[in-house]
C-alpha cells in the first residue's frame, strides 16, 4: 500500500472514516513509520489550531438562545417591503458557461451591476451611463477556466453575486400579438424584419432593475483565487454602489429556434434543424449608475488582465473605449471572430462564432441606433445578417 | 453598458437580455420556514458568534442570514441542502464583517473588550488573556483565504466532514486535505503576526 495522503490521515484523526477505512489505515500505520510520523505531526498541528479556535467558542456563562424566541424576534423585525434577491447563484452553481463566465467576471470587476441601502444611495451624486456604441473585446478563456461551476472561483463569484445583488424592479415577460401591441407596451417604435414573410413570436421582456454594493475583500479574494494576486483592486471600490436599470425590451423570434432550458435530453440540433432561426432583440439603452469616484477605466484594465490580456494590451484597449457609453461584449478568442460593418445606416459589429449554442455555428450582429440597442442573432452563415438587418422597418 | 445573463442553454449573445431571478416569499411564516429557522438557528448563531465575538452582533447577522434564505425560497425547493447554504452564508457574512473590522484596525481591542465579558473562568486575568487570544485568532482568520477561514470556523463549530462538504460545496474526499491546508495557513499566518508575542 502506498503511503497515506494527509487528507485521509486528517480524517482518521477526526474519527471521520468508517470502520472499514479506519481499520485499513490502522494496518498501514502499524507497518509504516513514515506515515506514523506524518500522523503525529498532523495531530500536533491540528491540536494547536483547534485549541486556538476553541477560544472563540461562547463561554459556559453565555446563555443559549431559544430558537423559538429568536424566531419571534425575527418576525417582529420583518422589513416592511423585503426586496427580492436574484438567483444568479443558481445560474452560476448549475451550468456556468465559459462564454458568459467571462462576462460575469468582467461585470463584477468593472462594476456593471450594483446598488445599496437607500440612505447611502440618496447621499451620493451618481454618474449616469448610457450605451451609445458597442465594442467587442476578445478574451482568453484559458485564463478563466477557474470560472467553471465546480471550481472555487466560480463558486466565489456565484456566492458574491448571490450575497450582493438586490433586485429593485422586475416585471414578467409578456407575449404579444403584433408590433403595434408591443409599441404600446414599450414606448418606442418596434421594428420587424420585412425580409421575412413568416410571423415572429414577439415578446415584451419585463423591465428590470438591480443593484449591488461592491466589497473589496470579496472581489480581491476572487482574483486571488484565480492566482492573480498581482492585480490589486483600488480600495476606492469598497462599498461603491452600482445600479442598473434595463428598460422593457422586445424580442422577435423567427423560425425554428432552440428554447433555452427546453432542449435538455434531446439530441443536439444540427445546422439544418436551426436554419431559418433568427432572433431579433431591441432594447433602449440600460442605464448604469455608479458613484463618480469609481474609475471605470482602471477597473476595466484590471478585468481584462484577469481575462488573460497583457497589461499593455488591456491599457491600449481601454484607452480606445469610452467606458461611460460603450457596451463591451467579451468573446472568447478561440471561439470566433468579429468585424465592424455598416448596418441600418450606422456602424455595427458582426460577431461570427464557430460553435455557440448547441455547437452550431452562428452569428450575432449588434448595433445602436437612436438610443436603441439592436441584436440580430442566428445560425448558419453570417452573410445573411446584414441584409436581414437592413430590412428592418 | 450592460452584461447579459441568460440561463445556461443560451448565450450572452442571444437577444433578449434577461435577468433571471426568484420571486420572493411574501410571508416568512410560510409553511416550513419556521421549522428551518428553529432547526438551524443555533448553529448559524454559533458560527457567527465565533467569528464576530459579540452576541448582539451575531444575532443581527443571523437574522440577516435567515432573511437571505427567506428571499431565496428556491433553495428549500431545489436541492434540499439548506443547512449547507446557511452555514456558508453565515461564514461569508461573518468573515466579511471580520475583515472590515480588521481593516479598521480596532478589531483586536474591540474583540478583547467584547469577549472579556463572556469569560469562561472566574479568574479575571485568565478571562483577559483568553479574550486577547481570541482577538488574535479572529485577526488571523480575517487575513486567511475565505475558504480556509470558513472550513476552520465551521469545523470548530462542530460540523462533520459530510456537513462541511455540503456547506462548502466540495467533495467529501477533499475535506481532510482542505482542512490540513487551512491549518497550515492558519499557523503560518499566526506565527507571522504574533511570533514575538505569543506561541501558537
- Do the domain assignments include residue A281? yes
Asked whether residue A346 carries a pLDDT value surpassing 80, the answer given is yes
Q: Global pTM?
A: 0.51
Helices (H), B53-174: 55-71, 74-78, 82-104, 107-116, 124-143, 146-156, 161-168
- Do the domain assignments include residue B142? yes
Q: Are residues A12 and A140 in the same domain?
A: no
Q: Are residues A124 and A168 in the same domain?
A: yes
- Do the domain assignments include residue A74? no
- Sort residue A191 into left (φ over 0), alpha (ψ -120 to 50) or beta: beta
- Do the domain assignments include residue B149? yes
Q: Which one has a higher pLDDT value, A63 or A325?
A: A325
Measured between CA atoms, how close is B92 to chain A, in angstroms?
Answer: 9
Provide the grid cell at B21. Answer: 431571478
B103, B137, B176: residue with CB nearest A8: B176
Encode pLDDT of B77-86 as tens digits: 444 678 888 8
- Do the domain assignments include residue B15? no
Instruction: In whole angstroms, give the CA distance from residue A231 to residue A229.
Output: 5
Name A209's bridge partners.
Answer: A169, A245
Helices (H), chain A: 6-13, 19-31, 33-54, 67-76, 88-95, 98-110, 118-123, 152-164, 179-186, 216-225, 271-274, 296-306, 311-320, 385-390
Percentage of chain A exceeding pLDDT 70:
67
Measured between CA atoms, how close is B27 to chain A, in angstroms?
Answer: 10
> What integer is the mean pLDDT of A53-71?
81
- Do the domain assignments include residue B143? yes
Encode pLDDT of B91-132 as tens digits: 988 998 888 877 765 545 555 555 544 555 667 788 788 888
Are residues A217 and B96, on separate chains, in Cβ contact within 8 Å?
A: yes
Cα pseudo-dihedral A350, A353, A354, A358, rounded to 10:
-140
Average pLDDT score over chain A: 74
Q: Which one has a higher pLDDT value, A352 or B72?
A: A352
Q: Are residues A314 and A256 in the same domain?
A: yes
Highest mean pLDDT among A86-100, A303-317, B19-33: A303-317
Q: Please give the pLDDT value at position A194.
A: 92
Q: Are residues A236 and A281 in the same domain?
A: yes
Domain range spanning residue A34?
A: 6-54
Encode pLDDT of A146-170 as tens digits: 444 445 665 666 667 667 777 777 7
Domain count within chain A = 2
- Do the domain assignments include residue B158? yes
- Do the domain assignments include residue A163? yes
Measured between CA atoms, how close is B84 to chain A, in angstroms?
Answer: 13
Domain containing residue B179: CATH number: 1.20.140
Q: Are residues A279 and A386 in the same domain?
A: yes
Nearest residue of chain A to residue B121 (CA atoms): A59
- Do the domain assignments include residue A66? no
Q: Are residues A177 and A306 in the same domain?
A: yes
Are residues B7 and A375, on separate chains, in Cβ contact within 8 Å?
A: no
B16, B53, B180: residue with CB nearest A281: B16
Instruction: In whole angstroms, give the CA distance from residue B105 to residue B95.
Output: 15
Encode pLDDT of B119-178 as tens digits: 556 677 887 888 889 999 999 999 998 889 999 999 999 999 999 998 888 889 999 999
In A, which residues are within 8 Å of B59 by CB distance?
65, 70
The least confident of A57-61, A64-68, A120-124, A226-230 is A120-124
> What integer is the mean pLDDT of A348-373?
78
Are residues B71 and A85, on separate chains, in Cβ contact within 8 Å?
A: yes
Are the CB atoms for A178 and A81 separated by under 8 Å? no
- Do the domain assignments include residue B87? yes
In A, which residues are within 8 Å of B71 by CB distance?
82-85
- Do the domain assignments include residue A24? yes
Are residues A52 and B59, on separate chains, in Cβ contact within 8 Å?
A: no
Pairing of strands A336-343, A346-353: antiparallel
Measured between CA atoms, how close is B83 to chain A, in angstroms?
Answer: 15
Are the CB atoms for A215 and A156 separated by under 8 Å? no
- Do the domain assignments include residue A59? no
Q: Are residues A235 and A306 in the same domain?
A: yes
Instruction: In whole angstroms, give the CA distance from residue B162 to residue A42.
Output: 20
Nearest residue of chain B to residue A85 (CA atoms): B71
A6, A65, A170: residue with CB nearest B177: A6
Encode pLDDT of B57-81 as tens digits: 899 899 888 887 876 654 554 446 7
Q: Are residues A128 and A18 in the same domain?
A: no
Domain range spanning residue B117?
A: 33-194
Q: Are residues A265 and A147 in the same domain?
A: yes
Nearest residue of chain A to residue B41 (CA atoms): A67
For A142-164, the DSSP string reads: GGGGGGSTTSHHHHHHHHHHHHH
Asked whether residue B23 carries a pLDDT value surpassing 60, the answer given is no
Q: Please give the pLDDT value at position A85.
A: 29
Are residues A283 and B13, on separate chains, in Cβ contact within 8 Å?
A: no
Asked whether residue A88 carries a pLDDT value surpassing 80, the answer given is no
Encode pLDDT of B26-53 as tens digits: 344 455 788 888 889 999 999 999 999 8
- Do the domain assignments include residue B147? yes
Confidence of residue A112 (pLDDT cuts 50, 70, 90): very low
Are residues A82 and B22, on separate chains, in Cβ contact within 8 Å?
A: no
Instruction: In whole angstroms, give the CA distance from residue B199 to residue B197.
Output: 7
Provide the grid cell at B11. Answer: 448565450
The set of residues, in sequence order, having a beta carbon less than 8 Å from that of A159 and lying 6+ positions away, is A89, B88, B89, B92
Measured between CA atoms, how close is B7 to chain A, in angstroms?
Answer: 6
Asked whether residue A93 carries a pLDDT value surpassing 50, the answer given is no
B9, B74, B156: residue with CB nearest A260: B9
- Do the domain assignments include residue A113? yes
- Do the domain assignments include residue A138? yes
CB atoms within 10 A of CB A112: 25
Confidence of residue A271 (pLDDT cuts 50, 70, 90): low
Are residues B38 and A329, on separate chains, in Cβ contact within 8 Å?
A: no
Encode pLDDT of A193-234 as tens digits: 999 989 999 988 878 777 778 888 888 877 777 777 787 888
Asked whether residue A270 carries a pLDDT value surpassing 90, the answer given is no
- Do the domain assignments include residue B73? yes
CB contacts < 8 A, A to B, total 277
Measured between CA atoms, how close is A278 to chain B, in angstroms?
Answer: 10
Domain count within chain B = 1
Cα pseudo-dihedral A226, A231, A237, A238, rounded to 10:
60
Asked whether residue A392 carries a pLDDT value surpassing 70, the answer given is yes
Amino acid at each position: 500500500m502506498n503511503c497515506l495522503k494527509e487528507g485521509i490521515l486528517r480524517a482518521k484523526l477526526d474519527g471521520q472514516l468508517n470502520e472499514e477505512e479506519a481499520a485499513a489505515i490502522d494496518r498501514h500505520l502499524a507497518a509504516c513509520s513514515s506515515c506514523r510520523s506524518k500522523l503525529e505531526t498532523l495531530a500536533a498541528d491540528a491540536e494547536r489550531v483547534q485549541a486556538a479556535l476553541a477560544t472563540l467558542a461562547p463561554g459556559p456563562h453565555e446563555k443559549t438562545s431559544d430558537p423559538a424566541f429568536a424566531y419571534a424576534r425575527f418576525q417582529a423585525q420583518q422589513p416592511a417591503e423585503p426586496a427580492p434577491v436574484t438567483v444568479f447563484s443558481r445560474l452560476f452553481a448549475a451550468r456556468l458557461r465559459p462564454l458568459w463566465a467571462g462576462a460575469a467576471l468582467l461585470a463584477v470587476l468593472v462594476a456593471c451591476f450594483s446598488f445599496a441601502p437607500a440612505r447611502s444611495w440618496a447621499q451620493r451624486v451618481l454618474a449616469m451611463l448610457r450605451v451609445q456604441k458597442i465594442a467587442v473585446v476578445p478574451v482568453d478563456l484559458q485564463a478563466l477556466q477557474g470560472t467553471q461551476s465546480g471550481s472555487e472561483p466560480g463558486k466565489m463569484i456565484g456566492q458574491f453575486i448571490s450575497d450582493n445583488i438586490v433586485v429593485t424592479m422586475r416585471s414578467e415577460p409578456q407575449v404579444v400579438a403584433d408590433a403595434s401591441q408591443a409599441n404600446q407596451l414599450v414606448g418606442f417604435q418596434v421594428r420587424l424584419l420585412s425580409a421575412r414573410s413568416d410571423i415572429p413570436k414577439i415578446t415584451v421582456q419585463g423591465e428590470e432593475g438591480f443593484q449591488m454594493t461592491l466589497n473589496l475583500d470579496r472581489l480581491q479574494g476572487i482574483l486571488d483565487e484565480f492566482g492573480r494576486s498581482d492585480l490589486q483592486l483600488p480600495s476606492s471600490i469598497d462599498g461603491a454602489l452600482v445600479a442598473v436599470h434595463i428598460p422593457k425590451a422586445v424580442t422577435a423570434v423567427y423560425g425554428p429556434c432552440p428554447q433555452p432550458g427546453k432542449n435538455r435530453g434531446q439530441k443536439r440540433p444540427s445546422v439544418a434543424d436551426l436554419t431559418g432561426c433568427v432572433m431579433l432583440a431591441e432594447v433602449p439603452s440600460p442605464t448604469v449608475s455608479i458613484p463618480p469616484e469609481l474609475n471605470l477605466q482602471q477597473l476595466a484594465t484590471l478585468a481584462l488582465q484577469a481575462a488573460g490580456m497583457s497589461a499593455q494590451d488591456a491599457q491600449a484597449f481601454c484607452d480606445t473605449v469610452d467606458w461611460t457609453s460603450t457596451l463591451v461584449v467579451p468573446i472568447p478568442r478561440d471561439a470566433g471572430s468579429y468585424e465592424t460593418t455598416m448596418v441600418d445606416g450606422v456602424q455595427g459589429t458582426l460577431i461570427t462564432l464557430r460553435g455557440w449554442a448547441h455547437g452550431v455555428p452562428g452569428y450575432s450582429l449588434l448595433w445602436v441606433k437612436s438610443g436603441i440597442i439592436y441584436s440580430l442573432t442566428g445560425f448558419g452563415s453570417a452573410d445573411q445578417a446584414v441584409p436581414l438587418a437592413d430590412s428592418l422597418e | 453598458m450592460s452584461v447579459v445573463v441568460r440561463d445556461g442553454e443560451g448565450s450572452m449573445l442571444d437577444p433578449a437580455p434577461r435577468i433571471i431571478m426568484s420571486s420572493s416569499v411574501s410571508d416568512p411564516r410560510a409553511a416550513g420556514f419556521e421549522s428551518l429557522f428553529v432547526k438551524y438557528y443555533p448553529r448559524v448563531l454559533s458560527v457567527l458568534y465565533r467569528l464576530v465575538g459579540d452576541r448582539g452582533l451575531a444575532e443581527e447577522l443571523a437574522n440577516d442570514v435567515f432573511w437571505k434564505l427567506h428571499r431565496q425560497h428556491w433553495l428549500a425547493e431545489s436541492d434540499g441542502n439548506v443547512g449547507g447554504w446557511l452555514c456558508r452564508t453565515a461564514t461569508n457574512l461573518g468573515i466579511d464583517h471580520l475583515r472590515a473590522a480588521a481593516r479598521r484596525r480596532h478589531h483586536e481591542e474591540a474583540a478583547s473588550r467584547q469577549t472579556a465579558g463572556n469569560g469562561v473562568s472566574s479568574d479575571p486575568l485568565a478571562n483577559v488573556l483568553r479574550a486577547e487570544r481570541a482577538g488574535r485568532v479572529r485577526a488571523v482568520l480575517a487575513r486567511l483565504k475565505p475558504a480556509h477561514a470558513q472550513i476552520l470556523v465551521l469545523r470548530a463549530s462542530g460540523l462533520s466532514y459530510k456537513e462541511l462538504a455540503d456547506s462548502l460545496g466540495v467533495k467529501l474526499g477533499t475535506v481532510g486535505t482542505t482542512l490540513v491546508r487551512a491549518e497550515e495557513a492558519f499557523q503560518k499566518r499566526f506565527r507571522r503576526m504574533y511570533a514575538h508575542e505569543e506561541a501558537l
